[in-house]
Amino acid sequence: MGRTKRLKLIDESEISKMEYVILQFIYTIIWCYAVYELLPVMVPIAYYHSSISRAVVCMSITSVFGMLCIYWNQRYYKEVVIDAICGMGVYTTLTLGQFLPVFVWILVSLTIVLTVIGVMMIVQMKIKNRRMRKRIVMHRLLRCFQLIRRNVSIAAGILLFVVPISLHFFKNDRLNQAYYEIANHESGTESEYVTTGADLLHEHYDDKIEVEQYYGDEYRLSQNIDTIKWIRDNDTFQTLDYEQKCDVIEAIIYCEARYLGLCKINIKFQEINDDVLGYYLHSTRTITINSKPVMDGTLTGGTSEEILKTCLHEARHCYQHLIAEMYLSITPEQRNLFVFRKYGVLDWISDFLNYVDGSEDLEAYFEYYRQSVEDDARAYADEESGSYYRSIDKLLNTGGNDN
């Protein structure tokens, strides 16, 4: 076996130095991108705390440190993987560790203590051969680096798996509060605790209580009946072309937004998975409708009734998010009001933080289906679709006004 010139170490590596450097570079790029993209999937709050520059720095530092420790004589494939795990663990800790501070503090403290003890045991060993003192000191220094690398890698690996899993599957009040503080900030709302009582009501009362209404009377059902009426009968609806169908869908959603008092929302038509009729993304306030069943009314979700229910369903999700944000901005006493307990708003919040999209397998679909936010949205769409039909019939037959 070859020996290095400087430290006279036996080179037991299974890959060359050039291959090792190239692998380190490739793994740094691949796993840096992977942890940056996948962490928010596991824990949604990471979407707001993620940083590609932080990921690059973490992966680069652990990769360079790993190279300093094993470049000379221990270049194995597994060591490259260990460095990648170490970098991902450090990034995960910096991104989400604040939500499990006690666990992180205990693990980091234990790692430091064990590392210090190990380093002291290596350093304190007597040097018997004085002529080789310099080389022995260098060997021990390298052993200390390898010990530090090993202990950090173990701790980082534990944090990489434990932190996301804990935050995904177990309730965490610190995480809940942080998520909705960010949501409130994005939506421009501020938490203001108002205590009940006649005196304080007078104190906060202005001559005119302002109400901001984004969707005004121009979005009333009666003002858009000539467009929305096509949703009443499937045969008639299917005679429309794609653009006309989209106009009907937009009119329904905006009409519903006025009724529910929603914030400004965006509507997008896009080809998505066949089993997904639509979805709502609160971070961008966007309702996305699957364009395929809209184009082809024979597909699942393409009938006029199914499209109407999809519109109502997704508008209800926007309403749920806005109610959940308000719930987090009021006092604990106010959260006990019947208006919040009636719909189980606390369950909505839990579902949003641990949302299951049901796309993986049958078991995931059942979990998705049983979520309180989905159950509420389905029930609302079923009930309100009938109300829409009755209102449309009334307007067409009598020319009356809707509320």
Whether 23 and 75 share a structural domain: yes
Q: What is the pLDDT of residue 5?
A: 47
| Residue 271, pLDDT score | 92
**Domain check: are 216 and 297 in the same one?**
yes
Predicted local distance difference test score (pLDDT) of residue 45: 75
Residues 240 and 152 in one domain: no
DSSP string, 35-92: HHHHHHHHSTTHHHH--HHHHHHHHHHHHHHHHHHHTTT---HHHHHHHHHHHHHHHH
Is 238 found in the same domain as 133? no
Supply the range of the domain harboring residue 128.
Answer: 17-168
Q: Which residues pair with 269 in a beta bridge?
A: 289
The Cα 375–Cα 219 span in angstroms is 27
Q: Tell me 402's DSSP state.
A: P
Q: Which residues contact 403 (CB under 8 A, 6 or more apart)?
A: none
- The total of structural domains in the chain comes to 2
In this structure, what are the phi and psi dihedrals at residue 278, rounded to the nearest 5 degrees?
180, 165
Inside any domain, residue 125 = yes
One domain for residues 371 and 304 = yes
Same domain, 159 and 203: no
Residue 351 contacts residue 372 (beta carbons within 8 Å): yes
> Do the bridges between strand 266-270 and strand 286-290 make them parallel or antiparallel, or are there none, so unpaired?
parallel
Q: For residue 4, tell me if it sits in a domain.
A: no
Look at residue 3 and tell me if it is in a domain. Answer: no
Burial of residue 373, with CB atoms counted within 10 A of its CB: 0-12 exposed, 13-18 middle, 19 or more buried? buried
pTM value > 0.75: no
What letter represents residue 342's amino acid?
K
Q: Does residue 345 lie within any of the structural domains?
A: yes
- Does 231 reside within a domain? yes
Which ranges of the chain have pLDDT less than 70? Answer: 1-14, 69-74, 126-133, 135, 176-209, 360, 398-403
Terminal CA-to-CA distance of the chain, rounded, Å?
Answer: 88
CB atoms inside a 10 Å sphere around CB 249: 23
**Are 149 and 205 within one domain?**
no
Q: What is the pLDDT of residue 71?
A: 62
Report if residue 229 sits inside a domain: yes
Instruction: Tell me: do 277 and 372 sit in the same domain.
Output: yes
162 and 221 share a domain? no
336 shares its domain with 380: yes
In a domain, 177, yes or no: no
Plot region of 38 (φ>0 → left; ψ -120 to 50 → alpha; else → beta):
alpha
- In the DSSP assignment, the letter for residue 3 is B
Phi then psi for residue 262, to 5 deg, are -75, 165
Look at residue 254 in the predicted model and tell me its pLDDT: 95
Domain identity same for 123 and 215: no
Q: Are residues 210 and 295 in the same domain?
A: yes
Residue 192 lies in a domain: no
